[in-house]
Amino acid sequence: MVILGDISVSLGGVRALDNIGLSIGRGEHWMLTGASGSGKTVLAHTLLGRHHYTGQMEFRPGLRIAIVEQQHRFKNLPGSTELYYQQRFNSSDAEQTITVEQERREYAFMERADAREWLNDLHIRHLLVKPLIQLSNGENKRVQLAISLSSDPDLLLLDNPFTGLDREGRETLHRLLGLLASKGIQLFLISAARHIPEAITHVAGLEKGKMVFSGTKEEFGRMRVEDGSLAGKLQLDAALLERLWQAEKAGFEIAVKMVDVQIRYGETTILKGIDWEVRNGERWSLAGPNGAGKSTILSLITADNPQAYANKIWLFDRRRGSGESIWDIKQKIGFVSPELHLYFDHGATCNEVIASGLFDTIGLFRRLSPDQEACAHLWMQLLSLGEVRTRRLAQLSTGQQRMVLLARALIKNPPLLILDEPCQGLDEEQTLYFCNLISTLCEAFGTTLIYVSHYQQEIPHCVNRFLRLENGSVVKG
């Protein structure tokens, strides 16, 4: 199907792939794994012809290749304004973006009978009327997959397809990958080593742009057992963290209080009668399946949802609408989410992205003082980002981008951290390191935490309170 011989790729003067050799035979289903920044997505994009390369690349004549990207870019209706981050929470402006059905119609092959079957197999037919921008992360992933499959590919590339999916979504995707393989669609999957679908037959491992393993799934499993876990190499510099985290007394008793909160968009109710109180120093897990309302409830806290004013909501001991500004609220919150990641200026340097957290802006629009510059550099040091300080966000792997945005959330020592799927894109070692960092902040400095993750193993051990949403309501017990 595909033969790669000594493929090398340089991006921005940095060698991203170094003499890669790989042969994908007929009937084989491959998974590509490796640490963040090892070159996995670069290799997938090179197969699609998106990067200049040296070496040899051969394809079976007539081979059709499709990809499900890790992130999806939304589009506005023709003639409307540019997209902006808070748009999904503003009902009138969200209507200026295309719906799932309008996106589907842009692809003529989506009208074929076999393509329409994917709408049922992926459980997305009911989403056709929704604006794309209002889909949850997991819902969006299923729409992307349906569009890619509708082109009837011979080889399907999937870049971290499990990212953002709840447990049911992951189980559905595992079953679907088996179905695709049984129908003769060959798979080339980029994923963490802990997510090896049953359909996968072969595994390739990358490390710093070099191929370090290529073989059967069984051989890869034996190698991991022999080598042990990669985790533990990153060690938290406690002295540096204490130097950076000069948190002042929080100055509030209740970080968040919601009483009978209701959120509607048109005829659709997103949140129903939410009662919730988060006190200073508490560490909460906010959980629930894709589309349960988690992002909406967080948007009420981060001052990004205008419907907060029509509800009984208190933030930092003050009722919303009592004279506080949006910036008064944001100054107390360190925040990261998949949506923030998607909308951030990817042309900014890592230094600029991290420093923008001091001002709660999506981009840096002012000159930094020497102290602010030094602070940004130290956060890069703490999160092992020093070597990418001057590189632009777009030049980094998704995992490195996420670490930069996590540093942005932490740089101003906020008394409340809201971390929505913060470990998306991180490798196993980075995930363990970051969870240890968050637990240290909460336990040693009393930081208040609201943490969202679909993976139990990614929730920091400091979390001891739990709120679960289903269909917009709080699940008791």
What strands lie across the sheet with 2-11, from one edge to the other? Answer: 14-24, 2-11, 54-59
Rounded average pLDDT over 167-191: 89
C-alpha distances in Å from residue 471, one per residue of 168, 258, 290, 363 = 14, 17, 9, 34
Rounded average pLDDT over 110-126: 72
Which range of 1-10, 107-116, 148-157 scores highest in mean pLDDT? It is 1-10
Q: What is residue 231's predicted lDDT score, i.e. its pLDDT?
A: 42
Burial class of residue 52 in the structure, from the number of CB atoms within 10 Å of its CB (0-12 exposed, 13-18 middle, 19+ buried): exposed
The answer to whether 51 touches 39, Cβ cutoff 8 Å, is: no
Burial 78-114 (b: 16+ CB within 10 A, else e): eeeeebeebbbbbbebbbbbbbbeebbeeeeebeeee
Task: Kindly give the residue spans of alpha helices, DSSP state H, lying in 278-325.
Answer: 294-301
Rounded average pLDDT over 266-285: 94
Rounded average pLDDT over 340-351: 85
pLDDT exceeds 80 at position 259: yes
Pairing of the two strands 283-287 and 465-470: parallel
Q: For 193-205, how does the pLDDT look when each residue is reduced to its tens digit (9 = 90+)?
A: 877 899 999 999 9
- Lowest mean pLDDT across 64-78, 252-266, 291-305, 432-446: 64-78
DSSP structural state of residue 133: G
Identify which of 66, 75, 70 has the alpha carbon closest to the alpha carbon of residue 148.
66
Between 235 and 24, whose confidence is greater?
24
pLDDT cut 70: percent of the chain above it: 88
pLDDT cut 90: percent of the chain above it: 53
pLDDT exceeds 70 at position 91: no
Residue 310: how many CB atoms within 10 A of its CB?
Answer: 13
- CA atoms of 409 and 389, how far apart (whole Å): 16
pLDDT exceeds 50 at position 221: yes
Pairing of the two strands 318-319 and 312-315: antiparallel
Pairing of the two strands 155-159 and 186-190: parallel
DSSP structural state of residue 392: B
**Contact residues for 62 (Cβ-Cβ < 8 A; gap 6+):** none
Rounded average pLDDT over 206-231: 78
Q: How much is the pTM?
A: 0.81
Q: For 42-73, how does the pLDDT look when each residue is reduced to its tens digit (9 = 90+)?
A: 999 999 999 999 999 999 999 999 998 876 66
CA angle centred on 163, ends 470 and 440, rounded to 5°: 85
pLDDT exceeds 50 at position 81: no
- CA atoms of 151 and 143, how far apart (whole Å): 13
Between 151 and 77, whose confidence is greater?
151
- CA atoms of 331 and 76, how far apart (whole Å): 30
CA atoms within 13 A on the CB side of 61: 0
Amino acid (one-letter) located at 218: E
Kindly report, as residue ranges, where domains of CATH 3.40.50.300 are found in the chain.
Answer: 2-227, 238-474
Q: What is residue 333's predicted lDDT score, i.e. its pLDDT?
A: 96
């076999």: which residue's tokens? 114
What's the token pair of residue 277? 């109180």
- CA atoms of 408 and 331, how far apart (whole Å): 12
């209701």: which residue's tokens? 262
- CA atoms of 145 and 156, how far apart (whole Å): 10
- Residues in a beta bridge with 448: 416
pLDDT tier, 229 (very low <50, low <70, confident <90, very high otherwise): very low
Q: For 390-410, how does the pLDDT look when each residue is reduced to its tens digit (9 = 90+)?
A: 888 888 888 889 999 999 999
Burial class of residue 27 in the structure, from the number of CB atoms within 10 Å of its CB (0-12 exposed, 13-18 middle, 19+ buried): exposed
Q: What is residue 62's predicted lDDT score, i.e. its pLDDT?
A: 94
Is domain 2-227 given the CATH code 3.40.50.300 in the classification?
yes
């499959």: which residue's tokens? 149
pLDDT exceeds 90 at position 357: yes
Q: For 23-45, how does the pLDDT look when each residue is reduced to its tens digit (9 = 90+)?
A: 999 999 999 999 888 999 999 99
Between 463 and 445, whose confidence is greater?
463
- CA atoms of 151 and 458, how far apart (whole Å): 35
Helices and strands counted in the chain (H then E): 15, 19
CA atoms within 13 A on the CB side of 134: 27
- CA atoms of 265 and 285, how far apart (whole Å): 26
What's the token pair of residue 414? 């906020």
Q: Which homologous superfamily does the CATH classification assign to the domain defined by 238-474? A: P-loop containing nucleotide triphosphate hydrolases (3.40.50.300)
The answer to whether 152 touches 64, Cβ cutoff 8 Å, is: yes
- Residues in a beta bridge with 12: none
pLDDT tier, 230 (very low <50, low <70, confident <90, very high otherwise): very low
pLDDT tier, 307 (very low <50, low <70, confident <90, very high otherwise): very high
Cα end-to-end distance, the chain, whole Å: 52
């309170």: which residue's tokens? 465
The answer to whether 157 touches 177, Cβ cutoff 8 Å, is: no
C-alpha 190: how far from chain center: 14
Amino acid (one-letter) located at 321: G
Identify which of 8, 351, 54 has the alpha carbon closest to the alpha carbon of residue 208.
8
Beta strand extents in 266-415 (DSSP E only): 268-279, 283-287, 312-315, 318-319, 333-336
- What's the mean pLDDT when you consider all of the chain? 86
- CA atoms of 225 and 176, how far apart (whole Å): 28
Q: What is residue 80's predicted lDDT score, i.e. its pLDDT?
A: 46
The answer to whether 31 touches 214, Cβ cutoff 8 Å, is: no
Q: Helix, strand, or coil here: 441?
A: helix
Rounded average pLDDT over 263-275: 91
